[in-house]
Structure 1
Amino acid sequence: MTDIIQQQFSLQVGKLGIQLSNQQLAQFETYYCLLVEWNEKMNLTGITDRDAVYEKHFFDSLTLAEVVPFDTTKSLADIGSGAGFPSIPLAIVFPHLQITIIDALAKRIRFLEEVTSQLGMTNITCLHGRAEDVARKREHRDQYDVVTARAVARLAALNELCLPFVRPGGVFIAMKGTDISTELDEARYSLTKLNAKILDVKQLMLPTEGADRHLIICSKKGPTPSTYPRKSGIPLKTPLLKPEKANTIK
């Protein structure tokens, strides 16, 4: 039996073109329970109210279906996945996707491995490591159809962390909140350096709360230049910015 929160969630994602089965709804509920349980032992999320998790984490993750043809997408990498957003919700809804989750914190990877085990998922690989190091490995470099990152860092830094994973012709989608105009302006220099360009920026709204969300869709035009990514820690501390901007941004 589904309750009112699950019924509302089903209706909301239905507007994204997603029809959830009872099994998938049960997986989302198991995921929620594990998130709350593990959150008592480690900091996974500041949002634990059930209705808020369903909207601000689960629904928000699935808004990617508005801009990605997942039925014909084979592989996805989620960089700095944290508690598994957007990768775990996407894996529940699109079980054919081969998903790689990369996170630098071993405790979070242990949580994600527990989630994938409890949900019976075989389509997810959880990797402990820094994006800058993993992106240098041949099996991950320029390999993925879609790469995502949700609320990890400013776009100028994210581009260098995420675009090296995208295959030429693939897309990187940065999931952002409200005001992104400054970030977009800052990010253009790094996109040029990384053989990418902005395809589109889609503005969305959470259905109940009404908060703004933005999906920044970047296409990869060619292989990653050998210079990038730079060594661990450098992209976040010193993002790729035009020299005049680098002097004004701390």
Structure 2
Amino acid sequence: MDPAAFVQALADHGIVLNDHQQDQFAAYYQYLISENEKMNLTGITAEGDVYLKHFYDSLTLALVLPELQTQVMSVCDVGAGAGFPSIPLKIAFPQLKIIVDSLQKRIGFLERLTARLELTDVQLFHDRAETFGAKKSPHRASFDLVTARAVAALDVLAELCLPLVKPQGRFVAMKAAATPAELIAAKSAIGLLGGKLAQDAALTLPETGDPRHLLVIDKVKPTPNKYPRKPGIPNKQPLGGA
């Protein structure tokens, strides 16, 4: 997917990028590739693949949740890596308030990137998700939307992300393929943590037809204070396996 095809594919869904936004995506790509030579940010480096599998893929979130396109919302991206999906969302929909949680070396990259792209209302934090959303954290239960893309299994993600979601907010897990086994394993954990599955949105990427599943989980009640557990425990002992 070259940049022109990227712009057209979004326009087909009613998302129109102006010249400045197109320039921002181009600058994002160039800086990503430049910095990738110094640190391991992504294994996807060809321009067409980055535009499709990183940029367009990130924006599928706004196809499933169209309110992202127009409303002022706080969006927390857990384990954002090189900024996906949060930075493409911020470029396309500047009114969003973006909070990113990632590893320190990637936070450095994102600080330089957001300065280059002149993005405002973007906050970057180096923290473990388990402490970022802990009982006494100021970030707990404070975001309209929390998202994670290809970070961990759903029962683990639910424990890391749902504590951060405000009441009546949403958590969306972005998955590459159908996840019936993950949904079954995570069902009790999602309920325990205050969530309820609202939608399993299936779609495909243009050109390649690669499958994507966005699991939309509503926050219907507060997360018990004892979750998330201490760093490392959710991965070692997922609630779905309890």
Q: Structure 2 length as normaliser, TM-score?
A: 0.96
Q: Distance in 2 between matches of 1:93 and 1:127?
A: 22
Q: Partner amino acid for 1:39?
A: N
Are 2:199 and 1:200 equivalent residues in the alignment?
yes
Q: Deviation of residue 139 (structure 1)?
A: 2.4
Contact 1:16 1:63 in 2 (8 A): no
Structure-1 residue corresponding to 2:132: 134
Aligned to 1:112: 110
- The one-letter amino acid paired with 1:202 is A
- The correspondence of residues 6-155 of structure 1 with structure 2, limited to 5 A, is 6-68=3-65, 69-70=67-68, 71-103=70-102, 105-136=103-134, 137-155=136-154
Q: Is the 8 A contact 1:201 1:214 kept in 2?
A: yes
TM-score, structure 1 length as denominator? 0.93
Instruction: Please report how far the alpha carbon of residue 16 of structure 1 lies from its aligned counterpart in structure 2 after TM superposition.
Output: 2.9
Structure 1: runs of 5+ lacking an equivalent: 244-250
Q: State the 1:5 CA deviation.
A: 1.9
Paired residue total: 239
User: Share of identical aligned residues, percent?
Assistant: 48
Between stretches 19-28 and 219-228, larger displacement belongs to 219-228
Distance of 1:177 and 1:132 partners within structure 2: 24
Structure 1 range deviating more: 49-58 or 135-144: 135-144
For the residue of structure 2 that corresponds to 1:35, the secondary structure is helix
Instruction: Quote the Cα distance in structure 1 between the aligned partners of 2:13 and 2:42.
Output: 25
Distance 1:236 1:124 in 2: 28
Runs of 4+ in 1 over 6 A off after TM superposition: none
Residues in 2 aligned to 1:138 and 1:185: alpha-carbon distance in whole angstroms = 30
Retained in 2: the 8 A contact 1:73–1:145?
no
Q: Following the alignment from structure 1 to structure 2, what is the Cα–Cα distance between the partners of residues 16 and 48?
A: 26
